[in-house]
Chain A
Amino acid sequence: MFHLELGKYRNIVLSIALFIFFDLAVLVLNFVISSQISNDALMINLAGRQRMLSQRITKTALQVEYRIRDGKPFGNELTEFKKASTVFDQTLTAFSQGGRTTSGTGDEVNLAAIEDPTAQGILREARDIWTPLITAAKSLTDNADIMQASQLARLMEAANLQLLKLMNDLTTRVEQIASDKATMLRTVQVTGITLATINFIIILFHFIGHLRRSDRELEHAHKETADILRTTQEGLFLLDPELKIGSQHSTALNSILGVATLAGADFIDILRARVDQKTLKTAREYLDLLLKHDVKEKLVTSVNPLNRVEMLLDQGPGKPETRFLQFAFNRVKEKGKITHLLVTVSDITRRVLLEQELKATEDRARGQLGMLMEIIQIDPFALHQFLRAAADGLQNINGLLRDQSEPVTGRSGLLRDQSEPVTGRSSLVNALFRQAHRIKGDAAALGMSSLADAFHQLEDLLSELREQPSLSGEDFLPVTVQVKGLFEQIETIENAVIRISQVRGVATVEAPRPQHDPNTAKLPFVQRWRDFANQIATRHGNTVEISYKGIDVATLPEGLSSAVNTIINQFIRNAIVHGIESSDARKALGKPEAGRLSIYISQNDDGSVELSFRDDGRGISVQRIRDTAIAKGRLTAEEATAWDNRRIVGLIFEPGISSHAAVDADAGRGAGLDAVAELVVRFGGNVRIGTTPNEYCHFRVHLAPRAIVEGPAAT
């Protein structure tokens, strides 16, 4: 079934249809009434003629009478009389019943009966008068005598005035009817035109207002769209089936793609200059798939070759820039048919670079973990030797780079004379390569593959420089950056070695836990340690608590027992003077008010003694020992810098090195721990130290049985 979808135009179409209907109605009525008026005009004309014919009939009847009386021929008058009578009769019949009659021009016309009752009354009255007259008239012939003619003339004279009046009335009535119809026609016309005009005004005001509102809404919607396109940071545009970019697109698209004019441009042409051939071909196939084939959009999204594409964009003369862009395509359908593709372009360069950086960081972290694993497995001494050599080698490399920048003639400045031949820099590359290769070989020999790889990368950079016909200073920038990275890597390894040694220290310092005998804590020698500790603590304004677990020291051989006692006393003194903080400081650090000194002593099956002494004080300050060593002339500043932390900490066992600010009864002369060292050496043992700043200091002493059997050694 035909269904006209007028939509929002329904009202305006109906209004115009109404307007046309009014106009047509007026036109039709005008036509009908006009034709009736035309008919009425004929009737008026014929009614007027009846009036004239009534006079002519009377006149010709009298002329016939006079002619007969005078004995003159009367044929023409008789013919005239009969013709007038016949026409009058026909017309009278046509008025009252309808029928044919002769018009003024002699043509036959067909008249409809007059329906007006008044006119019909006039006609009936006229018919009554006329009927005896026409009968008499028909009997008058060419042979008529004077009697017949006179009788007819008298009849005519007698009816003349009445018939004239009736025909006059008929004419007036017919004119009145025509006038009424003309009035009606004017009324219809005025009404119709008025209605049409009103309709037109309604159309004008209603629809102009409606159109204005629509225009405003359209303009508002257009502005919103323009605002979105101008403000969005993403590139938005439509692609037609010919892969041409639509007339409207977001402002950001120009800067994202680096193209000034995009409307109407060929998308493939834009891609061609910015991506490789393979990507271009795949992109074209993908777009063809989206536009022309009935495949599910979501299914093919995963194969979008432009989902993450690297593009080389021209950002001005000599400023090529690589960006990572993401193109998303969505079908635009109309009545189920794909008309366009909506394309969203995002600049994901920052995200991609962050991802790459994250990956590099993860790789570095993995590398560092691998490096740590490598370090753990290397002999500490060999590692130490290598790290020193590697650091020196890097210093040499950097020195070569710096020397290249210094003047040949000793003139102050940083650059060699520019007239120097390029061979100078070529020689530099070779010298750098030799250094790098040597350190790489040493690293590889130790099994430090990650460091060897880093030096290998430096070699790669230098190999590239070797291939260049001429070299500028700027060409060495990647080398310098790599050298800095290597310096940092060596430093990282050195720090890791220190931390590992600390961890190893703590792990190995932890003495084997002896069977706990609660009674040992009450033995006299433990009480003496407590008393001694309390005396020193009192002098230094702090408090300590001693806990002891282990063997009865009195059961040890005398020399060993005495040595253990001396060592413990020195450790107690050292801990209280240097380690344990004041009560207030400890509270501030969240530690118990009283410092804790934990002592463990055990004897192994071979007779050797393990001694562990731990305090929960401030730990050993490496920097303080370093400063003290310099201040007391034990080390030069260069040596202090060059020595690692482990070696620096070892200085506390040397005589004359005390970090205590003032000389007092308990410390300050640098003696004390050197006595421990002497005893340990004498008993052929060793000492290990573990410490963490502000947490603890832990000594583990091993006294060997060999020395016990053989007695005190000289060294």
Chain B
Amino acid sequence: MTEAELRIFIGIVQHYFEQQTGRLAEMGTPFLGDPNALPIFDFTGVIGISGNRRGCVYFTAPSEMLRQILVHGGESDVSRENLADLAGEISNTISGNARRAFGHEFMISVPIVVTGREQSISLPESVKAYVMPFRWREQDAALVVSVV
């Protein structure tokens, strides 16, 4: 995954936060993570990538961040189902925009939402993943890109 391609994913996340909440999500210093030591928060939307390249991209966020986004948008129902739906919506936005940007290069799946830290996420083995940390209203989230 090239720097330009990573910037596309980063731009999608930042644009989502700016559009939905009016506040930019601050990006932290990106680093590499081993498959068994990647950040996973309460809700994770996973997008599979196949074709010429394979792997996955996921956006993971804690419940509190998702709750605040819902409240900010005027939503009073902050049940776990709704939080999961929001995580799915964010991943869907990433998936849709990525499909437009990379559609001719590789296939991008419909996202699935993984709840909790116990459920495992299938990642390419022996490949270090890019971890892009984000902070929004004192809450941390991360975009993880692991593609071979």
Contacts and interface: CB of A to CB of B under 8 A. Distances in A.
Given A413-B140, A415-B135, A477 B6 contact: yes
Interface stretch (B25-33, B48-56, B66-74): B25-33
A605 interface: no
A401 interface: yes
Contact of A414 (B28, B32, B128): B28
Interface string B96-138: 0000000000000000000000000000000010111111000
Interface residues of B, number: 23
Nearest to A424: B29
A415 B6 contact: no
A161 interface: no
Given A402-B131, A476-B30, 15 more contacts: A401-B30, A401-B32, A404-B28, A404-B31, A405-B29, A405-B30, A414-B131, A415-B134, A415-B140, A473-B26, A473-B30, A474-B27, A476-B29, A477-B3, A477-B132
Interface of B: 2-3, 6-7, 10, 26-33, 39, 128, 130-135, 140, 142
A693 B39 CA distance: 37
B28 A405 contact: yes
A414 B142 contact: yes
A415 B133 contact: yes
Contacts of A477: 3, 6-7, 10, 30, 132
A323 interface: no
Interface stretch (A65-73, A241-249, A480-488, A617-625): A480-488
B130 to A, nearest CB: 7
A519 interface: no
A487 B34 CA distance: 12
Contacts, number: 75
Interface of A: 398, 401-402, 404-405, 412-416, 418, 425, 428, 472-474, 476-478, 480-481, 483-484, 487
Nearest to A475: B29
Contacts of B39: 414
A481 B28 contact: no
B140 A481 contact: no
Contacts of A483: 32
A399 to B, nearest CB: 8
A402 B132 CA distance: 10
Contact of B32 (A472, A474, A484): A484
Contact of B28 (A398, A416, A487): A416
B contact face: mostly helix, strand, loop, or mixed? strand
B31 A480 contact: yes
B57 to A, nearest CB: 15
A254 B31 CA distance: 41
Contacts of A412: 140
Is the contact region of chain A dominated by helix, strand, or loop, or is it mixed?
helix
Contact of B2 (A402, A481, A487): A481
23 contacts: A398-B32, A401-B29, A402-B131, A404-B28, A404-B29, A404-B31, A405-B31, A413-B135, A414-B131, A415-B28, A415-B135, A425-B29, A472-B26, A473-B26, A474-B10, A474-B30, A477-B6, A477-B132, A478-B3, A481-B130, A484-B32, A484-B128, A487-B32
A404 B133 CA distance: 10
Contacts of B27: 472-474
Contacts of B2: 481
- Of A425, A473, A487, most buried by chain B (CB within 10 Å of CB) is A473
Contacts of B10: 474, 477
A481 B30 CA distance: 9
A200 to B, nearest CB: 65
Nearest to A482: B3
A607 B133 CA distance: 68
A134 to B, nearest CB: 123
Given A414-B39, A415-B26, A398 B3 contact: no
Nearest to B141: A414
A460 to B, nearest CB: 14
Contacts of A401: 29-32
Contacts of A480: 29-32, 130
Nearest to A412: B140
Q: Point out which of B29, B30, B33 has the most chain A C-beta atoms below 10 A from its C-beta.
A: B29
A404 B132 CA distance: 12
Contacts of A428: 29
Contact of A418 (B32, B128, B132, B135): B135
Nearest to B7: A477
Contacts of A425: 29
Nearest to A414: B133
A499 B132 CA distance: 35
A666 to B, nearest CB: 35
Contacts of A414: 28, 39, 131, 133, 135, 140, 142
Nearest to A491: B126
A472 B3 CA distance: 16
| 9 closest A-B pairs by CB | A414-B133, A413-B140, A401-B31, A473-B28, A415-B28, A402-B31, A404-B29, A415-B135, A473-B29
A487 B29 CA distance: 18
A15 to B, nearest CB: 61
A473 B133 contact: yes
A431 to B, nearest CB: 12
